[in-house]
Amino acid sequence: MDKQLLAMLVCPVCQGKLKLDKDASELLCTFDGLAYPIQDGVPVMLDSEARKMSEEEKLEKAQQAAQKTEAE
Ligand SMILES: [Zn+2]
């Protein structure tokens, strides 16, 4: 997915930045715990279509993101 496009995308609920989960083809908002699907390379930015992450998954993804940022 286009990095510039990704930088423009924000969560429709909290207007926060999203994290790309390449493996799952999802855009994650760790603040709301929502995962927006990417269908055929097109992000579906609808909270009605978003998957709700469990508290556990939310923490895990937030930690992963933090580690990634440190490494970069
Ligand atoms: Zn959000």
pLDDT tens digit sequence for 19-54: 999 899 999 999 999 999 999 989 999 999 999 999
DSSP H or E run through 14: none
Q: How far is the CA of 35 from the centre of ligand 1 (A)?
A: 9
Helix (H, G, I), strand (E, B) or coil at 24: coil
Enumerate residues 6+ apart whose C-beta is below 8 A from 6: 18, 20, 27
How many CA atoms lie less than 13 Å away from 34 in the CB half-sphere?
20
Domains of the chain: 3-71 (2.20.25.10)
Neighbours of ion ligand 1 (CB under 5 A): 11, 13-14, 16, 29, 31-32
> Is it the case that residue 7 has pLDDT exceeding 90?
no
Q: How far is the CA of 14 from the centre of ligand 1 (A)?
A: 4
